[in-house]
């Protein structure tokens, strides 16, 4: 299996404050990693390190991505100015920035590609609207289109289920499962119960990183545990079992087989 | 008649046209990116360059261009370092620039320059050199926005996302800061330090009422500022009142009327719905 990114004994943080210590994590091409952990535990710092938005204070981040292979990113909406004068379809096209760089022209086929994605997400009719005119959930779909238009090798999502209703949330996870056929996914979420059903592995981030590789929680694994912390069921979603780490971080997640 | 026969009137119309082009583009960017306050700071700081220019015996506008570009970069560097907050840094450079200007003009021996024309503008006394500078700047700004419109738009919209795509975000930001500073100084001749910010904000905010697409805001605000400038020039000629201030009055009146039309339209749309 091909390795895309590898963090090797990485330390990171902001202005002298260490948020992540000694994190090592390989990301392979068809990984689907759910990232959980308490607020301030360093989940966002972890993905910003992988995205190159912040530099590690110690340690190495190896990228094995080749020229033209990209990382898709769905940020949290909160840092975006919703009054900015930009149209929906332009936002989606902006996901092609790394292919275009500064000098290459954008063409009508780029816009067509953006419109095809908007159609898939069921919001083609919003293509000429600006972001001030659409709802939070619709905007979230626009940002997802932007994240995947470059057909990235790795898709990083920071709380994709905020602002979306239950119906779209289900569609979203189905779509992510389909994307995972051709790209690795890392997803930060608070909805621990739901993701444990969809993801292949879990990374628990609380200053340190506890990684639970796929063989522990494959769907094939039939095991029954006590459910001391949290049981979430959505219809046929199986029980989720969470135990406590020594440092207080919820981590072990086990799936029952789908009935 | 007679209005167009004066040479200074036709120069003023050319100046208004060139200012509308550069301010239409740069002002729309400033308004979209919420950089009005930093632009106000750069405008006032440029007065330091005017003072130094007089003191050294070089063209004050050249002094102002160098000084305003440096202060724009200075504000950015200081706020990037996160030691001082951006609005505080702007406040400091704003008044420091004015203070430097006043001291150097005071120290310059001989005839005291006509400060009023720098503070409030004098579109009727623009020289051929001023027009040449404004034309060169207009060509540069238009070329950069035609060539790099998409990267500029995408970086302005979501800088962090652009960084994840390895875009040269800092270079583009500094390039645009430089253009903002240069456009501001070129407009000091037209509107003056105190009034220049109006060319960069009022037509753009008016355009923003009717469109939410940066490109249309640019075109619309160019048209509004050229029309407004012509009307303002005409009124100032008719009533013999200062041209810069009159133009700004016209801008605000156009804005108010547009706002009224817009709220009437949306009420009408509500009724229909």
* Chain A residues with a Cβ under 8 Å from any Cβ in chain B: 15, 51-53, 70-71, 73, 75, 79-81, 84-87, 90-91, 93-94, 97-98, 100-102, 106, 130, 132-133, 146
CB < 8 Å to B217, chain A: 85
Query: C-alpha distances in angstroms, B17 versus A134, B28, B132, B237, B243?
Result: 36, 16, 13, 18, 15
CA distance B167 to B190: 36
Which among B154, B160, B168 has CB closest to A53? Answer: B160
CA distance A187 to B185: 48
Whether residue B154 and residue A132 make contact (CB cut-off 8 A), yes or no, is no
pLDDT at A36: 83
pLDDT for residue A158 is more than 80: yes
Q: What domain range includes position B65? A: 3-194
Whether residue A94 and residue B154 make contact (CB cut-off 8 A), yes or no, is yes
CB < 8 Å to A86, chain B: 153, 157, 212-214
pLDDT at B125: 81
* Tens-place pLDDT, residues B167-178: 999 999 999 999
CA distance B19 to B77: 28
The minimum CA-CA distance between B7 and chain A, rounded to whole Å, is: 40
CB < 8 Å to A130, chain B: 212-213
pLDDT for residue A198 is more than 90: no
pLDDT at A193: 63
CB < 8 Å to B170, chain A: none
| pLDDT average, residue stretch A60-84 | 91
pLDDT at A232: 37
Whether residue B154 and residue A97 make contact (CB cut-off 8 A), yes or no, is yes
Mean pLDDT of chain B: 90
pLDDT at B3: 60
For residues A226, A229, A234, A236, the Cα torsion angle rounded to the nearest 10 degrees is -10
Interface residue of B146, B156, B157, B221 to substitute, partner A, most A CBs within 10 Å: B157
Whether residue A94 and residue B161 make contact (CB cut-off 8 A), yes or no, is yes
SS3 (DSSP) at A135: coil
The minimum CA-CA distance between B102 and chain A, rounded to whole Å, is: 38
| pLDDT average, residue stretch A4-18 | 88
Which pLDDT band, with edges at 50, 70 and 90, does A11 fall under? Answer: very high
pLDDT for residue B56 is more than 50: yes
pLDDT at A147: 95
Whether residue A87 and residue B32 make contact (CB cut-off 8 A), yes or no, is no
CA distance A87 to B144: 21
* Tens-place pLDDT, residues B65-93: 999 999 999 988 888 877 788 888 899 99
pLDDT for residue A251 is more than 60: no
pLDDT at A229: 27
B80 in contact with chain A, both atoms CB, cutoff 8 A: no
Domain ranges of chain A: 1-65+153-220, 81-150
Out of A9-18, A88-97, B150-159, B207-216, pick the least confident: A9-18
Percent of chain B with pLDDT over 70: 96
Residue B241 lies inside a defined structural domain of this protein: no
* Tens-place pLDDT, residues A123-154: 999 999 998 899 988 999 999 999 999 999 99
pLDDT at B139: 97
What the block records as the tokens of B114 is 């006509």
**Which chain B residue lies closest to A131 (C-alpha atoms)?**
B212
More confident residue, B213 or B79: B213
* Tens-place pLDDT, residues A210-237: 777 643 443 333 232 222 223 333 334 4
**Which chain A residue lies closest to B214 (C-alpha atoms)?**
A85
pLDDT at A253: 40
* Tens-place pLDDT, residues B90-135: 999 999 999 999 999 889 887 666 777 888 888 888 888 889 999 9
For residues B156, B159, B164, B165, the Cα torsion angle rounded to the nearest 10 degrees is 10
pLDDT for residue B192 is more than 80: yes
pLDDT at B118: 83
Whether residue A85 and residue B151 make contact (CB cut-off 8 A), yes or no, is no
* CB pairs A-B closer than 8 Å: 75
B83 in contact with chain A, both atoms CB, cutoff 8 A: no
Q: How many domains does chain B have?
A: 1
- A55: nearest Cα among A23, A3, A4, A10: A10
Q: Which CATH superfamily is domain A1-65+153-220 in?
A: P-loop containing nucleotide triphosphate hydrolases (3.40.50.300)
- B196: nearest Cα among B54, B90, B69, B41: B41
| pLDDT average, residue stretch B184-208 | 91
* Tens-place pLDDT, residues B7-55: 777 889 999 999 999 999 999 999 999 999 999 999 999 999 999 998 9
The angle that helices B128-157 and B7-32 make with each other, rounded to 10 degrees, is 10
Mean pLDDT of chain A: 79
Out of A138-142, B189-193, B219-223, B254-258, pick the least confident: B189-193
């Amino acid at each position: 299996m091909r390795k895309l990114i590898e963090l090797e004994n990485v330390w990171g943080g902001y202005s002298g404050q260490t948020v992540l210590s000694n994190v090592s994590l390989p990301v392979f091409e068809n990984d689907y990693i759910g990232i959980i952990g308490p607020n301030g535990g360093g989940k966002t710092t972890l993905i910003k390190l992988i995205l190159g938005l912040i530099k590690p204070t110690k340690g190495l981040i190896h990228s094995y991505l080749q020229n033209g292979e990209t990382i898709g990113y769905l940020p949290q909406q909160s840092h975006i100015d919703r009054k900015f004068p930009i149209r929906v379809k332009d936002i989606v096209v902006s996901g092609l920035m790394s292919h275009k760089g500064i000098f290459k022209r954008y063409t009508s086929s780029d816009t067509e590609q953006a419109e095809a994605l908007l159609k898939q997400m069921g919001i083609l009719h919003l293509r000429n609207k600006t972001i001030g005119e659409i709802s939070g959930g619709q905007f979230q779909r626009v940002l997802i289109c932007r994240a995947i238009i470059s057909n990235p090798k790795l898709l990083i999502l920071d709380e994709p289920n905020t602002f979306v209703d239950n119906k779209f949330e289900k569609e979203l996870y189905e779509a992510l499962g389909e994307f995972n056929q051709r790209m690795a996914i890392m997803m930060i979420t608070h909805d621990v119960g739901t993701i444990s059903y969809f993801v292949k592995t879990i990374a628990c981030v609380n200053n340190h990183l506890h990684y639970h590789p796929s063989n522990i929680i494959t769907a094939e694994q039939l095991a029954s545990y006590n459910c001391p912390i949290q049981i979430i069921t959505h219809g046929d979603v199986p029980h989720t079992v969470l135990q406590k780490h020594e440092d207080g971080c919820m981590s072990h997640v086990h799936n029952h087989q789908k009935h | 008649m007679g209005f167009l026969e004066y040479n200074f009137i036709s120069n003023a119309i050319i100046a208004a046209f060139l200012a509308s082009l550069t301010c239409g583009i740069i002002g729309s960017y400033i308004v979209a990116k919420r950089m009005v306050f930093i632009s106000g700071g750069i405008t006032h700081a440029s007065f330091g360059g005017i003072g130094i220019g007089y003191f050294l015996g070089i063209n004050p506008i050249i002094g102002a261009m160098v000084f305003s570009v440096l202060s724009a970069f200075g504000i950015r560097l200081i706020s990037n370092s996160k030691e001082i907050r951006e609005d505080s840094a702007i406040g400091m450079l704003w008044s420091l620039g004015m203070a430097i200007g006043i001291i150097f003009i005071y120290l310059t021996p001989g005839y005291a320059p006509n400060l009023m024309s720098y503070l409030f503008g004098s579109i009727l006394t623009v020289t051929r050199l001023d027009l040449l500078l404004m034309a060169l700047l207009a060509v540069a700004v238009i070329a950069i926005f035609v060539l790099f419109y998409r990267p500029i738009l995408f970086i302005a919209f979501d800088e962090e996302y652009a960084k994840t795509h390895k875009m040269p975000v800092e270079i583009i930001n500094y390039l645009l800061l430089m253009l903002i500073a240069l456009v501001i100084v070129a407009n000091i001749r037209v509107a003056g330090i105190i009034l220049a910010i109006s060319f960069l904000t009022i037509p753009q905010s008016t355009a923003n009422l009717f469109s939410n697409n940066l490109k249309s805001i640019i075109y619309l605000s160019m048209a509004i500022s050229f029309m407004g400038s012509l009307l303002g020039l005409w009124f100032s000629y008719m009533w013999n009142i200062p041209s810069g201030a009159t133009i700004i009055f016209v801008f605000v009146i156009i804005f108010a009327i547009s706002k009224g039309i817009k709220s009437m339209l949306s009420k009408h749309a509500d009724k229909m719905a």
